[in-house]
């Protein structure tokens, strides 16, 4: 049994690789489609399973269980929609929604397998001819199982995602509705249901789909997909300020500097541009303490900067002045970013600092004089920064 669990752990790692591939390569021209790549990986894993069975490393029962689990995980993965790389710029957030759908917790499928009967998915004799038809066959087998176990909410969710991936949207809605009856406070389920419902309507997210999204946010204010859809709904009706507010709430929930973060930042920038909003600015005052004033020369360079409280250490905005300019009223905004995508507006909480550089270089060195503010919002006013310490 120990060997089985070791194999299961390795299988889980391979599955994570399979799930992450679309995030890394879905926007690259000339790459293999995600589903085709996943099917190829599935075949390789299935061959390994069969080889372990033949060599005696796996017992027949463990082989059947692992194979059934692999089928269900593959079905869960291919049930996720693929982003359209040709989407127009105004739909950047929509593409993000589709990529975020890949992050739907695997617990849905795992719980389904745990409470269900995985061995009902019987192994096939030939693993080398797996194609879209067999994917559809897996979906039908799951649908048949749900007719026998109609109270399995997780099974209905998985069936809904599977139907959606096959473009069978009415059936997907029906499955989601059955799941919602059994789990009415499942925010992820409501967001998935809203996404499919919007796909079937000319009005897109307006109306009932948006109501589902807002209900999901009442249940879970940090649900990424619901936030993305709510922002898209606001964007579509030209409520650009509303879109910005929803999408900004997503930024603390994704990894700073990641592709998701860059897509969100791009959508925020587009909404602000279309809405005619002025760049978000942080204002304050920098001064030097009396005890250190004698240690600074009027020509020494002063770097005023803001960096994220949670995120990369690279400054988000930098302003360069001279000691002779102090005390100084300053403003920092996205136009002062040091790297593409590393914008002040993308990080809700920041620390503002000022450093007198004896070498004239932006990197802190021993002997420099500096001061830091407490954490503030990225559009704070009247921030006070006093240069009152020496860099060791």
**How far apart are the C-alpha atoms of 134 and 204, rounded to whole Å?**
31
Topology of 281-390 in CATH?
Immunoglobulin-like (2.60.40)
pLDDT digits (tens, 9 = 90+) for 326-356: 999 999 988 788 776 677 887 889 999 999 9
Question: Across 63-77, 241-255, 336-350, 375-389, which has the greatest mean pLDDT?
Answer: 375-389
Q: What percent of the chain has pLDDT over 70?
A: 67
**How far apart are the C-alpha atoms of 127 and 106, rounded to whole Å?**
24
> CATH 1.25.40.10: which residues of the chain?
2-275
> CATH 2.60.40: which residues of the chain?
281-390
Q: Which two tokens stand for residue 276?
A: 């005619």
pLDDT, position 307: 93
Q: Strand pairing partners for 306?
A: 317, 352
Say yes or no to pLDDT of 318 above 70. Answer: yes
CA torsion 154→184→227→88, rounded to 10°?
70
pLDDT digits (tens, 9 = 90+) for 295-310: 999 999 999 999 999 8
Q: Strand pairing partners for 317?
A: 306
Topology of 2-275 in CATH?
1.25.40
Q: What percent of the chain has pLDDT over 90?
A: 36
**How far apart are the C-alpha atoms of 346 and 344, rounded to whole Å?**
5
């Amino acid at each position: 049994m120990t060997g089985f669990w070791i194999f299961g752990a390795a299988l889980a790692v391979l599955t994570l690789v399979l799930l992450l591939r679309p995030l890394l390569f879905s926007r690259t021209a000339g790459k293999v489609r995600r589903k085709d790549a996943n099917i190829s990986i599935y075949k390789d894993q299935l061959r390994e399973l069969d080889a372990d069975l033949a060599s005696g490393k796996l017992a027949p029962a463990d082989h059947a269980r692992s194979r059934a689990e692999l089928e269900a995980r593959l079905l869960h993965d291919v049930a996720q929609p693929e982003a359209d790389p040709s989407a127009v710029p105004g739909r950047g957030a929509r593409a993000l929604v589709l990529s975020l759908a890949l992050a739907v917790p695997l617990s849905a499928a795992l719980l389904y397998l745990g409470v269900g009967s995985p061995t009902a998915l019987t192994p096939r004799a030939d693993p080398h001819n797996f194609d879209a038809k067999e994917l559809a066959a897996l979906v039908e087998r799951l649908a048949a199982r749900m007719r026998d176990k109609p109270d399995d909410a997780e099974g209905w969710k998985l069936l809904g995602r599977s139907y959606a991936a096959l473009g069978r949207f009415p059936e997907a809605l029906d499955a989601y509705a059955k799941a919602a009856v059994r789990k009415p406070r499942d925010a992820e389920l409501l967001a998935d249901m809203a996404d499919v419902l919007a796909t079937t309507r000319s009005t897109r997210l307006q109306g009932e789909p948006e109501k589902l999204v807002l209900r999901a946010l009442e249940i879970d204010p940090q649900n990424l997909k619901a936030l993305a859809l709510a922002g898209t709904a606001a964007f579509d009706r030209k409520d650009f300020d509303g879109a910005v507010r929803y999408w900004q709430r997503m930024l603390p929930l994704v990894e700073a500097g990641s592709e998701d973060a860059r897509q969100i930042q791009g959508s925020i920038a587009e909404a602000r541009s279309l809405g005619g909003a002025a760049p978000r600015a942080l204002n304050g005052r920098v001064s030097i303490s009396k005890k250190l004033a004698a240690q600074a020369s009027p020509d020494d360079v002063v770097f005023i900067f803001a960096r994220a409280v949670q995120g990369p250490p690279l400054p988000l905005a930098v302003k360069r002045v001279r000691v002779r300019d102090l005390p100084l009223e300053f403003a920092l905004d996205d136009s002062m970013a040091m790297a593409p995508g590393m914008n002040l507006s993308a990080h809700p909480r920041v620390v503002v600092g000022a450093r007198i550089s004896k070498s004239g270089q932006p990197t802190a060195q021993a002997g420099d004089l500096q001061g830091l503010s407490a954490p503030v919002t990225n559009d704070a006013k009247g921030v006070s920064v006093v240069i009152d310490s020496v860099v060791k």
